[in-house]
Amino acid sequence: MALRKFGRLSLISRIGKRDFSIASTSEGLIEKADSKSINLFTAVNQALHIALETDSRSYVFGEDVSFGGVFRCTTGLAERFGKKRVFNTPLCEQGIVGFAIGLAAMGNRAIAEIQFADYIFPAFDQIVNEAAKFRYRSGNQFNCGGLTIRAPYGAVGHGGHYHSQSPEAFFCHVPGIKVVIPRSPQQAKGLLLSSIRDPNPVVFFEPKWLYRLAVEEVPEDDYMLPLSEAEVIREGSDITLVGWGAQLSVMEQACIEAEKDGISCELIDLKTLIPWDKETVVASVRKTGRLLVSHEAPITAGFGAEISASIIERCFLQLEAPVARVCGLDTPFPLVFEPFYMPTKNKRMISFPKGSVLRTKVHPHLAISPPLPAEMPPLFLPPKNKKVVGTKLGFS
Amino acid sequence: MAHLISKSRRLLEKRILFSAILDGRSKVSSVFQSRMIPAAGFCGGKLEAGDTILVGPRGGRFKSIKSGEQVQFFPSSSSSDEDDHHDDDITEGLDFPGGRVTFTPQKSFISESSAKRVPCYRVLDDDGYIIRGSEIEQVSKEVAVKMYTGMVTIQTMDNIFYEAQRQGRISFYLTSSGEEAIGIASAAALMPDDVVLPQYREPGVLLWRGFTLQEFANQCFGNKQDYGKGRQMPIHYGSKKHNYMTISSPIATQLPQAAGAAYSLKMDKKEACVVAYTGDGGTSEGDFHAALNFAAVMEVPVVFICRNNGWAISTPTTEQFRSDGIVVRGQAYGIRSIRVDGNDALAVYGAISTARKMAISEKKPILVEALTYRVGHHSTSDDSTKYRTVNEIEHWKTARSPIARYRKWVQRNGWWSDEAESQLRGDIRKQVLQAIQLADRTEKPPLEQLFTDVYEDFPSNLREQEKSLRETIRRHPQDYPPDVPV
């Protein structure tokens, strides 16, 4: 179960070949002779095959899982591993997660599927009050670390209110669980295997838009990608873009567009939302001086707000522009209006300050910085004419 | 996909309805009649080679029993002998998932309740005499006396801990008063390998398994000896070595978990079951439904024990449900169930012994409803005289006391005496007081345990927060509890 760490994976753009693939191929991965070009649901399926094969105490279950699942992620599992290890459950999300917690608490790997992330809410209590606190409340006598909850999330083009939501922020407010979202087939397989084998309960959201659309070379063997490690998938010097899941490919297109205008973008895939890799984002923003966060979920109280706040705490003096968020609107997820709702490449371009610090390199002290409100206590103001290396706020 | 399925299902239902209407009018063609499948056995049954499967995405569940036969919903147009089958209608039926459903020309609704309430299994009468003809599970003298001393211990511990809370020595407490028999007697009927998922009014199970008074006190005081490391409110016990999963406050959440834990026992081929407790209020939670349905469908060895004590804080059962208590719910889920007098320790022992055996040997869930009464307030935060009469409480406390009734039986057997009684009560009292004093003197868990066990590892955000908190404490030590080692 050694965690195979891949170094920072360099980006090989697949735009042109496949619009929705943010490839993450490293040399180490792609050189393998047994890599095959597969889509995201197949990558998930491979991971589940491996998880069941490598641990006889692992189980896969959920609504309609037995025949292969409505997104085909569990295809062939029941046939290969038997109906005792891969099975349908009654249509009851709180039951699925409750059952999974009990199974995991007995030392098993319980891989539960919630058919759509939109339907995870009946299980919210089991996730928040039970799974997340199982270890802590027992003083580490019991744990349900073998629990992984998989759920397809996000826009799909025609999903309307209840087949499109991105509920990750709800779960990011819960210490004790991890939230992981992959951006591509290769990532999905490696991160899912890590999530399944992680000794903590993990909520694993799969971008359903990419199930069939995203195709890339994925090694056929057993590999894992580290959790809580963000990845710089495109290096740049003018602005940092942070996102996860399906947004990554949209953001990459924005990076390419911006590049035509002479703006050099650094693109980071967060991958694990909690506990998240602040260090990588901080290092990037210190370099670029600007940050844009993007997610499909509504902007208000989305996880972008948390990233924004954390980065302002740590990079206030290096920021040359306000942190920008390009996110879903504060409406229920709409059907006909989906193209208007979505955080798109165009919205991202608009959010790049015009005129601008991004296009012409200006002297740092002339750069745009957010105005400080007059009533801001003196504590928050950096001393004049003095380089601040550390304050009570934790700047460094 | 789901949409597709439901669409085809509706179509199927329409067809069934259509055939039922036809049948009701006795205008069924001979072709239709002759092709009805005269057998049962469906859902979950094995699909044999050659079985006929009906069309539709879920057609596999509508399999016929005899090879070569097929349910046909649409009668052929070549109907004949329309009246010949009139007498057979009532014996005819429809193969349907779950078994054969017969037809009836009567438009009869199932009653909302049976004419008679489900009787309650009891072996000891109010005076502690064995009721004639009782089915009794034999209890040795040793076990019988241990059950009695266990009930007295819980009662004594409850009284003193309750007072300790009133004196402000612990923050909260919750007694099992009036329900001592359920915890102790059910535990006595179990084996140590059986995994317990408690609610919060079953400390008797832990006591029976060897959890000491000191361990109870350590948890209530949240000191460094508390296995829960001082993180939860008093009475949220848990003990790995006693196979007793840590209590959480949310109601009924442990029930679906019990089904999952029982599935693990089944897969591991263990000669053990899971036992999950809840109260009458807990049965209104969605998790109760989820648990019973999952346990039945997954066919797992779990015993659900519901203490129907009449009250969910201030809500009486009349405002909780309209069914005949809890026991009748079992059948709707396909679960064998029994109602037992929860204040009759011998009856509880007998019912749970049998339930356990059935659960393990048949790999099935069993539901037990124990009728009892919450003699104490819900907790130290509650004054139950605001919503129920003192007379009612007194009646259950005295006339229906499970401890007094059981003592009569034990003593009549010559296994107990008045001297033993006063000796026991004095000893327990002394032990509880000592445990409280020691627990009170024992220091609190160190500050680092605020941050550990959130995750198996120690993520950087917590490391950062711990560092920052320690810095704050260093500057303002007077603002933090002095008994927590920093």
* A355 confidence band (pLDDT: 50, 70, 90): very low
B459 and B428 in a common domain:
no
B419 and B393 in a common domain:
yes
B392 and B288 in a common domain:
yes
Residue B80 has pLDDT above 50, yes or no: no
Pairing mode, strands A178-180 and A202-207: parallel
Query: Does residue B289 fall inside a structural domain?
Result: yes
| Percentage of chain B exceeding pLDDT 90 | 81
Average of per-residue pLDDT values in chain A: 85
Residue A357 has pLDDT above 50, yes or no: no
Cα of A125 to nearest chain B Cα, Å: 8
* DSSP code string of B235-304: T---BGGGTBPPP-SSTTTHHHHHHHHHHHHHHTT-S--EEEEEETGGGGSHHHHHHHHHHHHHT--EEE
Helix axes B141-166, B180-188, angle to 10 degrees: 140
Residue B256 has pLDDT above 90, yes or no: yes
Task: Give me the pLDDT at residue A33, please.
Answer: 59
Contacts 24+ apart (CB under 8 A), B1-4: B1/A64, B1/A70, B2/A64, B2/A70, B2/A115, B4/B57
Can you read off the two tokens belonging to residue B348?
């509880």
Sort A7 into a burial class: Cβ within 10 Å, 0-12 / 13-18 / 19+. Answer: exposed
Q: Which of residues 197 through 236 in chain B touch A, CB cutoff 8 A?
A: 197, 226-229, 231-232, 236
When comparing pLDDT for A112 and A4, which is higher?
A112
Nearest CA in chain B to A129: B250
Task: Give me the pLDDT at residue B98, please.
Answer: 87
Residue A80 has pLDDT above 90, yes or no: yes
| Percentage of chain A exceeding pLDDT 70 | 80
Contact B227 A135 (CB under 8 A): no
For residues A118 and B276, is the Cβ–Cβ distance under 8 A? Answer: no
**What confidence tens digit (pLDDT) does each residue in B327-345 have?**
999 999 999 999 999 999 9
* A344 confidence band (pLDDT: 50, 70, 90): confident
Average of per-residue pLDDT values in chain B: 86
Summarize the confidence of residues A59-68 as an average pLDDT. 98
Residue A323 has pLDDT above 90, yes or no: yes
Query: Does residue B365 fall inside a structural domain?
Result: yes
Query: Does residue B119 fall inside a structural domain?
Result: no
Residue B161 has pLDDT above 80, yes or no: yes
Query: Does residue B465 fall inside a structural domain?
Result: yes
Which domains are present in chain A?
Answer: 16-225+385-391 (3.40.50.970), 231-362 (3.40.50.920)
Query: Does residue B151 fall inside a structural domain?
Result: yes
- Tell me the C-alpha distance between A95 and A209, whole Å: 27
* A29 confidence band (pLDDT: 50, 70, 90): low
When comparing pLDDT for A329 and B54, which is higher?
A329
Q: How many CB atoms lie within 10 A of CB B233?
A: 18
Tokens 């704050």 locate to B472
Residue A366 has pLDDT above 50, yes or no: no
User: Is B378 among the catalytic positions?
Assistant: yes
Final residue belonging to a domain, choices B79, B108, B126: B79
Partner residue opposite A141 with nearest CB, options B227, B455, B462: B227
Residue B273 has pLDDT above 70, yes or no: yes
- E strand segments, A256-370: 265-269, 272-274, 291-298, 324-328
Can you read off the two tokens belonging to residue B271?
């000669």
B395 and B353 in a common domain:
yes
Task: Give me the pLDDT at residue B90, please.
Answer: 52
Contact B286 A70 (CB under 8 A): no
- Tell me the C-alpha distance between A386 and B365, whole Å: 72
Residue B37 has pLDDT above 90, yes or no: no
Task: Give me the pLDDT at residue A32, please.
Answer: 56
The answer, for B253 touching chain A at a CB cutoff of 8 Å, is: yes
* B135 confidence band (pLDDT: 50, 70, 90): very high
Residue B89 one-letter amino acid? D
Task: Give me the pLDDT at residue A351, please.
Answer: 65
B437 and B458 in a common domain:
no
Q: Kindly list the distances between the CA atom of residue B180 and the CA atoms of A389, B186, B316, in Å, as whole numbers in the listed order.
A: 64, 10, 20
Residue B41 has pLDDT above 60, yes or no: no
Summarize the confidence of residues B155-163 as an average pLDDT. 98
Residue B392 has pLDDT above 90, yes or no: yes
Query: Does residue B104 fall inside a structural domain?
Result: no
For residues A94 and A111, is the Cβ–Cβ distance under 8 A? Answer: no
ipTM over 0.90: no
For residues A176 and B455, is the Cβ–Cβ distance under 8 A? Answer: yes
B274 and B348 in a common domain:
yes
Residue A347 has pLDDT above 90, yes or no: no
Check B249, B361, B381, B468 and give the catalytic one. Answer: B249
**What confidence tens digit (pLDDT) does each residue in B284-304 have?**
999 999 999 999 999 999 999
Task: Give me the pLDDT at residue A346, please.
Answer: 80
User: Residue B260's domain is classified under what CATH number?
Assistant: 3.40.50.970
B274 and B340 in a common domain:
yes
B464 and B396 in a common domain:
no
B469 and B418 in a common domain:
no
Residue A19 has pLDDT above 70, yes or no: no
Of the candidate ranges A274-283, B35-44, B187-196, the one whose mean pLDDT is the lowest: B35-44
Number of domains in chain B: 3
Task: Give me the pLDDT at residue B91, please.
Answer: 64
**What confidence tens digit (pLDDT) does each residue in A173-232 have?**
999 999 999 999 999 999 999 999 999 999 999 999 999 999 999 999 999 999 999 999
B372 and B393 in a common domain:
yes
Check B369, B377, B378, B384 and give the catalytic one. Answer: B378
The answer, for B264 touching chain A at a CB cutoff of 8 Å, is: yes
**What confidence tens digit (pLDDT) does each residue in B416-474 have?**
999 999 999 999 999 999 999 999 999 999 999 999 999 999 999 999 999 999 999 99
* A12 confidence band (pLDDT: 50, 70, 90): very low
Which residues form the domain of B43?
7-79
Nearest CA in chain A to B227: A139
**Residue whose C-alpha is closest to residue B262's, from B123, B325, B356:** B356
B462 and B347 in a common domain:
no
Final residue belonging to a domain, choices B79, B97, B119: B79
pTM for this entry: 0.84
Task: Give me the pLDDT at residue B75, please.
Answer: 43
Query: Does residue B166 fall inside a structural domain?
Result: yes
Query: Does residue B124 fall inside a structural domain?
Result: no
- Tell me the C-alpha distance between B305 and B485, whole Å: 41
Final residue belonging to a domain, choices B53, B79, B105: B79
User: Which residues of A are catalytic, by number?
Assistant: 93, 163
When comparing pLDDT for A247 and A383, which is higher?
A247
**What confidence tens digit (pLDDT) does each residue in A127-178 have?**
999 999 999 999 999 999 999 999 999 999 999 999 999 999 999 999 999 9
On chain A, the residues whose CB falls within 8 A of the CB of B269 are none
B12 and B147 in a common domain:
no
* B367 confidence band (pLDDT: 50, 70, 90): very high
Task: Give me the pLDDT at residue A52, please.
Answer: 98
Which H or E run includes A87? strand A86-88
Helix axes A40-54, A185-197, angle to 10 degrees: 30
